[in-house]
Structure 1
Amino acid sequence: MKRFLAFAVLLILGAGAMIRLLPSDPADWHVDLAAADFQARAHSTLACMEPGHRYTPAGPALATLAKLDKVALASPRTQQLVASEGRITWVSRSLIWGFPDYTTAQVMPDGETLCLYARQRFGPRDWGVNRARLQGWLQEALGLNEAPDI
């Protein structure tokens, strides 16, 4: 029984280490939301704030992207994975197991629309965690009194 318990503990610790230590390849996660072949994954969150949208950012979309970057980096367990011209991808990890979720924000080619795309790496669903994170980030970055309904 002790051996079984020790094996189970080692298995759990090994799985936890694997989840935390698996590399995040920017080629897989820093996706171009404006690409003709872009398709959002099932159970992901995709939101675009374009001119005339209820939550249209005040000022240039690039300035809003910079504000969003500051908000994201101030969030617990979130770091920037990669940034390129007009596009940033962050990885946010869950508290206990460190499951990674990826969020990409991009200024679209029109220069006025900002799109955000959040998805999980493991599992079929995220139970609304990514949507809630995006709502909180946008609320703070846009200076809203309420979380935007995205």
Structure 2
Amino acid sequence: MLKLILILLGMIVVAGALWVRIAPSDPARWHLDPRREARPATPNFHLLRMGDGDAPAPIYDMPPQRLAETFHDIATADGATLIAGRVSDGHMTYLTRSRLMGFPDYTTVLIEPAGDGSMLTGFARARFGHSDMGANRARLERWVAALTD
């Protein structure tokens, strides 16, 4: 009986791991305006925007189109896939996956004019689970840091 229970538990774990990898991503659900989204109740996200205690939205001394193209190059070089939006609009949503289990994370950025430069607003969040062990924060901060290199 114990052997049967262990086999069933193993099958449930394998099915869950497989679901995480093959679950479809609905771009309409994840492609949003990071300036307007409510802060999630779980800690598996990172926001770059003005207000309510979030990390400040960075401002760059370059035109929005160039910033969007540069950001896109950095994100895709890091393994992200553009699933919604267009670089030409400066509003893009990317899918990334954790290395070991393949958990999907979504990062949406909005780039808009700010004086003579551009401002980047971003929202990185996990699809599954409660904690992402800081992965979304680290990824978005890494991409933003690469913009200044």
Q: Is the 8 A contact 1:47 1:117 kept in 2?
A: yes
CA–CA distance in structure 1, aligned partners of residues 112 and 59 of structure 2: 14
In percent, how many aligned pairs have the same letter?
32
**1:51-70 alignment runs, 5 A limit:** 55-70=58-73
Over aligned residue pairs, what C-alpha RMSD do you find?
2.4
Task: Give runs of ≥4 in structure 1 deviating > 6 Å.
Answer: none
Could you tell me which of 137, 142, 149 is aligned with 2:148?
Answer: 142
Going from structure 1 to structure 2, the CA distance change for 1:30 and 1:109 (only over 3 Å counts) comes to: farther
Q: State the shift of 1:66 in Å.
A: 1.3
Measure, in 2, the Cα distance between the counterparts of 1:33 and 1:58: 21
Q: Does residue 46 of structure 2 align to residue 45 of structure 1? A: yes
Specify every segment of 5 or more residues in structure 1 that has no aligned partner in the other structure, as ranges. Answer: 144-150
Distance 1:87 1:60 in 2: 14
Q: Any unmatched runs of 5+ in structure 2?
A: 51-55
CA contact (8 A) 2:67 2:118 kept: no
TM-score of the aligned structures, taking structure 1 as reference length: 0.78
How far apart are residue 126 of structure 1 and its match?
2.0
Instruction: State the structure with bigger RCO (CA 8 A, min sep 6), 1 or 2.
Output: 2
Per the alignment, residue 119 of structure 1 pairs with 125
- Name the structure 2 match of 1:82: 84
For these two proteins, the number of residue pairs brought into alignment is: 137
* Corresponding letter in the other structure for 1:97: M
**Structure with the larger strand share:** 2
Q: SS at 1:83's partner residue?
A: strand
